[in-house]
Amino acid sequence: MRHTLRVLVVAVALALPVVPALAQDDRELSEETRKQYATALQEAAVLVNSRQFDRAKEKLAALSTQRPREPRARFLKGVVEFEQGHPDAAIVVFRSLIEDYPELPEPYNNLAVILAQRGEYESARAALETAIRTAPGWSVPHENLGDIYARLAAAEYAQAAKFDKSNKTAPAKLALVRDLLANAAPAKPKS
């Protein structure tokens, strides 16, 4: 909703915290293996940015095999799922990240964007409020929450105008909110 919900970009995915560098079988990874992994993750992010989603998905699948709990590759996978028109799969990815890493605000934000696009404003609001609690100084979820409140306000003004035809203020407020929302670009989750 920043521009009707703002999602995260690939740069954010690469800035997510690094979890311990363990292989799938919990062995410590060598410095060289870690560098190779980081390079492959950066390559996947470039593929996502250039909208080469099938290639990005292949690279992310290989990275997930190496380190299944690593949040950055998982986050990018959620972005790819969303961009390829699979919001249910993206929701599964972001909810899984939230379960494993509740301290990360980014998955909450992207989950909220998808929920808002479905009209699930109360659930989106809750996700954004959690993102704000985990990162109070990060502006994106604050702005997105403002957009959610605008959508909720529009729905309430419409109800007020519907129930009281003599009410002159509710339709005027509804028009203002609709104008505000119409001038915002549609939101989509960011990588």
pLDDT in tens, 2-25: 434 445 544 455 555 555 555 454
- Kindly state whether residue 3 falls inside one of the protein's structural domains: no
**Two structure tokens written together for 57:** 């998905």
Does residue 5 lie within any of the structural domains? no
Asked whether residue 148 is assigned to any structural domain, the reply reads yes
1 domain residue, yes or no: no
- Which pLDDT belongs to residue 191? 47
Q: Measuring CA to CA, which residue among 9, 186, 16, 27 is closest to residue 98?
A: 16
**Residues spanned by the domain of 17:** 10-182
Query: Does 168 fall in a domain?
Result: yes
SS3 state of residue 6:
strand
Summarize the confidence of residues 148-158 as an average pLDDT: 94
- CB atoms under 10 Å from CB of 44, counted, come to 29
Confidence tier at 28 by pLDDT (50, 70, 90)? low
Residue 19 lies in a domain: yes
Read off the CATH number of the domain in which 165 is found.
1.25.40.10
- Residues 46-86: tens digit of each pLDDT: 999 999 999 999 999 999 998 898 999 999 999 999 999 99
Token readout for 106 is 């980014």
- Candidates 11, 19, 53; CA nearest to 37 is 19
Give per-residue burial for 127-142: e unless 16+ CB within 10 Å, then b.
Answer: bbebbbebbeeeebbe
Q: What does the radius of gyration of the chain's CA atoms come to, in whole angstroms?
A: 19
How wide is the angle at C-alpha 155 spanned by C-alphas 151 and 159, nearest 5°? 165
| Nearest-angstrom CA–CA distance, 96 and 107 | 9
Q: How many domains does the chain have?
A: 1
Domain assignment of residue 189, yes or no: no
Q: Is 141 part of a structural domain of the chain?
A: yes
